[in-house]
A and B are shown apart, each in its own frame.
Chain A
Amino acid sequence: MKLLYIDDDDDIREIAELSLAIDPEYRIWTAASGREGLDLAAAIRPDVILLDVMMPEMDGPETFAALAQEEDLRAIPVVFVTARTQNHQVAELQSLGAAGVIQKPFDPLSLAEQVRGCLADNFGC
């Protein structure tokens, strides 16, 4: 399963990559900005995209909207990963049509599992 992680924080990208690698099913790509993420997504066609919310220039929801504009990319489930964890903030992200919202700081050992959970919920609906 191809997974794309988009986050402007270098350290968090590295840790997320290591955390997700615990699950051998995942092949992981990372991008440091929304723009880079969009290009990479178009190139590799991931099965799921993990998207940071607070990013300079193009933030998470903007990147999400841009993905939805692309015919080929709009079907890819997107899971937001955010440090803004208040109920209304999470609800806002969900209302955009995200497959799930994972809160930062995430548990590195169960991140892969959480992503699977989000996808299962999504397809279950």
Chain B
Amino acid sequence: MSNVVHTRALVDLTSRPAIRSLVVAAIAFSAMLIFAASGIWLTREAGRIATIWVANAAIVSILLTQARELRVVILVSALLGNICANTLMGDAVTIALALSLCNLVEIVLVCVALQRLRPNVDFTALADLVPFAIVAGFIAPAVSALLAAIFLYTVKTASFLDVLETWFASDALGQLVFVPLFATLAEKGLTKDGIEPLVRPRALGWLLLNAAVAILIFAQDTMPLLYLGIPAVMLVAFRIGTTGAVIANLTMTVVAIGLTLAGHGPVHLMQGGLSEKMVTLQGFLAICVFVSLSISAYLADRQRLEARLVSTVSELEDANEAKSAFLSTVSHELRTPLTSIRGSLGLVNAGVTGQLPDKSANLIRIAHSNSERLVRLINDILDMEKIASGKMDFDIRPVALREIVQSAIETANNYEVEKKVKILLIDEAAHAVVHADADRLHQAITNLLSNAIKFSPQQGVVRVLLESMGDRAKISISDEGPGIPLAFQKRIFGKFEQADSSSTRQKNGTGLGLSITKSLIEQMSGTIDFVSSEGQGTTFTLSLPSIFKPSNEKIGLPSTGGRAVLACVIDGAIATLLHRQLLEQGYSSDQAPDMGSARLLLESRRYEAVIIDIDILGDQIIEFFDELRSSAQNADIPVTIISASVGKSKDILNGQAVGVIDWLAKPVDPAHLRHSLARLIGAQGPRRPRILHVEDDNDVVQVVAAGLGQDVDMVFAKSLSEARTALLEGDFDLVILDIVLPDGDGLDLLQELGTETKVIVFSAIDGNLTAPVHTILTKTRKSEADLAVCVRSLLAGKDADQRGKGAR
């Protein structure tokens, strides 16, 4: 064996072909001579249970590892060596020749078949190992054994089957164990790659363990421990790969054959004849070899794949790095000339250099707007690149959703101003605090708003709806545009995608906006979705993780429970103040900067109250209130008017029963505002009905109050004058009126009550009253309980046809 190990090194030294041939011939001859002689001794002398024919495997290995032109030399030398060995072991020359030729057939078959199948056989590759096992472990030994058996049967009348069996088993085992061993060692041999994995302490440990197991199995004579052998070689194959596997197999084979020949081991425990025992041992060794080599080849395949993946990944990383650097450089190089272009066009377009003729001005405007577009495109491309390469930093922290949306709306209000698109914010998530990067969320919302404006018709409306759903906050942005064509919907988040990709497309844009928006939102653990049908507009919905709780203890604000106030104010500071104060009192607020928005918002949502700046109403003030009061939903909605000159404004509305709750003078004082809001909506929770009970009998007052319970605000007046004072201080939903009062007739009050106030006359006078009141109850006929029922039904709005009936 060691001859072969050194073959390569030795042959490499001999550069001259003649000498080289001679050396190879000598090695082949002596290998054949030694291995064949020992093999013959094993099969004939030492009993036939344990046989292995190494000689053929040695020659196959030499052939596989040497140059093709040396084949004939090797084969002839091997043949001669074989004849010599047989002759030495006592065979006649003719028999020696014939048996040697049988071996030669096997050697040639293995080599030819292998090199046909795989030019360079690699025993660490599964693809090579399988054909090798079939040819060298089965076909070639079978052919060789058949020829030998026929020859010996005819010439020496030996048992045909015995020869066939012994020859096949020993040759097949020899090929399976030794060809991979020799080839692997010849390939890696004494090189660093070959030795290093073996000399590590762990590797040596595994090899020693394998040797110990082999000895344990074959040195004892009591237990059938063969099964321990397979896991032992498998372990080595797993841990040290092919080189380890061939050495483990060699160890196992040598120990098994040696100790079996010495009369030990589990094979001797078997019942049955020689041939069964031989098949068992040979089969065991063949399986050890096949299993361990398969495992190591499979692992080697995986390792090669991993190495390829690793190198591919690192190549890709390099390429990506280069791409980033390239983009960064290019965008920088583009920015410098663009600074001059944008600057020049901006200045000329703004008229800094004087007025241009119309045609030129138009051309400059086109050039200017396109240079602006180019700037956006470069910024978008850089953003895209930063997101793709994971270089965009996100500073995720809790942020108030409303503030970001408000600021994005302010930014978007500057887009395409000439289109007069209105952006309405409907806030149903007043306290929503989302986990997000404020700047990136602003960018994402601004992108969507800009898109919505871009596709809106002239004077269209973009609705922004904020909603809270458990631990998510939703932002929906709807436009009244043409909708997204069905065919384009699938590609909408792609890069450089625009529905109208023709060269004459109408919409300026980079086609990167939605793709960037999606990436930004997803990086913040959010989702983006859209609903659209052609001609019906489009709604994009963002969903973000939020820390909203129905009653948000963290910020100490009461739940709004969906209650909202509409604030139509111009001044941003007042708007902010209002929003904050309303939140404190448990109301969310939507803001309308103009009449149109106010109308749209009043249509789209139920509000508890309206605060409106008289400057927004302008000369439409009467019209606005007419509209408001004639709508079913808002007929009795409380209104506060903010005005610079309250007195004058009151005059304008004089005689109009519009139900203004309160007036606020400009400039608005925060304390006054708070006070007014409290009056407008009640200090907490849903507005409690306010009832004025005008009654001079204290007992009646107490009984009625007890009957009405705790959830109404009762104000009592014992006289007409007290009642008048109460009415000046605030509005009432309902008045319970006694007619006979110390200082006059209760009915006199009726003129001073607004039309919104419901009136119940509760009096001892049993007369035919024609006063315009809702209900008349006569004290002697109706109890206080009846009164309470009547109050409840009136407050609930069921005042129809009550009028006058109670009197009879």
Contacts and interface: CB of A to CB of B under 8 A. Distances in A.
Interface string A85-125: 11100000000000000001111110000000000000000
B342 interface: yes
Contacts of B353: 18
A108 B335 CA distance: 14
B339 A12 contact: yes
Contacts of A83: 332, 335-336, 339
Contacts of B342: 105-108
A68 interface: no
Interface string B315-342: 0000000000000100010011011111
Q: Secondary structure of the A side of the interface?
A: loop
Interface string B348-384: 0010110000000000000000010001000100100
A3 interface: no
Contacts of B525: none
Contacts of B350: 108-109
A42 interface: no
B346 interface: yes
Contacts of B328: 86
A11 B340 contact: yes
A124 to B, nearest CB: 20
B340 A9 contact: yes
B344 interface: yes
B344 A105 contact: no
A84 B393 CA distance: 17
A105 B332 contact: no
Contacts of B343: 12, 15-16, 18-19, 105-106, 108
B352 A104 contact: no
B347 A18 contact: yes
A22 interface: yes
A108 B347 contact: yes
Interface string B377-397: 001001000100000010000
A39 B43 CA distance: 104
Contacts of A22: 352
Which bracket fits the contact residues of A? Answer: 20 to 34
B448 to A, nearest CB: 23
Interface in A15-49: 15-16, 18-19, 22
Given A84-B332, A86-B328, A106 B339 contact: yes
Contact of A85 (B341, B344, B352, B382): B382
A107 B352 contact: no
Among A16, A22, A84, A105, max chain B CB count under 10 A is at A105
Nearest to A11: B340
Contacts of A19: 343, 346-347
A86 to B, nearest CB: 7
Contact of A105 (B335, B352, B386, B393): B335
A12 B338 CA distance: 10
Query: Which range holds the interface residue count of chain B?
Result: 20 to 34
A94 to B, nearest CB: 15
Nearest to B335: A83
A87 B395 CA distance: 13
A101 to B, nearest CB: 14
A56 to B, nearest CB: 13
Contacts of A18: 343, 347, 352-353
Nearest to B375: A105
Contacts of A86: 328, 382, 386
Contacts of B346: 19, 107-109
A12 B343 CA distance: 8
A104 B335 contact: yes
Contacts of A15: 339-340, 343-344, 347
Given A107-B346, A109-B350, A12 B340 contact: yes
Contacts of A84: 332
Contacts of A87: 393
Given A85-B382, A108-B342, A12 B347 contact: no
B348 to A, nearest CB: 9
Nearest to A87: B393
Nearest to A84: B332
B335 A85 contact: yes
Contacts of B332: 54, 83-84
Nearest to A104: B339
Nearest to B333: A83
Interface in B741-782: none
A79 B350 CA distance: 25
Nearest to A53: B332
Contacts of B371: 105
A109 B368 CA distance: 12
A108 B372 CA distance: 12
A97 B393 CA distance: 22
Interface string B225-245: 000000000000000000000
B434 to A, nearest CB: 22
Nearest to A7: B339
Contacts of A108: 342-344, 346-347, 350, 352
A92 B674 CA distance: 47
A59 to B, nearest CB: 14
B342 to A, nearest CB: 4
A43 to B, nearest CB: 27
B387 to A, nearest CB: 13
B382 A12 contact: no
Nearest to B342: A105
Which of B336, B352, B386 has the most CB atoms of chain A within a 10 A radius of its CB?
Answer: B336
Nearest to B341: A105
A105 B328 CA distance: 15
A54 to B, nearest CB: 8
A106 B371 CA distance: 12
Contacts of A85: 335, 379, 382
A107 B376 CA distance: 12
Contacts of B382: 85-86
B59 to A, nearest CB: 68
Nearest to B337: A11
20 contacts: A11-B344, A12-B343, A15-B340, A15-B344, A19-B347, A85-B335, A85-B379, A86-B382, A104-B338, A105-B335, A105-B341, A105-B343, A106-B343, A108-B342, A108-B343, A108-B346, A108-B347, A108-B350, A109-B346, A109-B347
Given A16-B343, A106-B342, 18 more contacts: A9-B340, A11-B340, A12-B343, A15-B340, A15-B347, A18-B347, A18-B352, A22-B352, A83-B332, A85-B379, A87-B393, A104-B336, A105-B335, A105-B341, A105-B342, A108-B343, A108-B350, A109-B347
Which 9 pairs between the two chains have the least Cβ-Cβ distance?
Answer: A15-B343, A83-B335, A105-B339, A108-B346, A11-B340, A105-B342, A104-B339, A108-B343, A105-B338
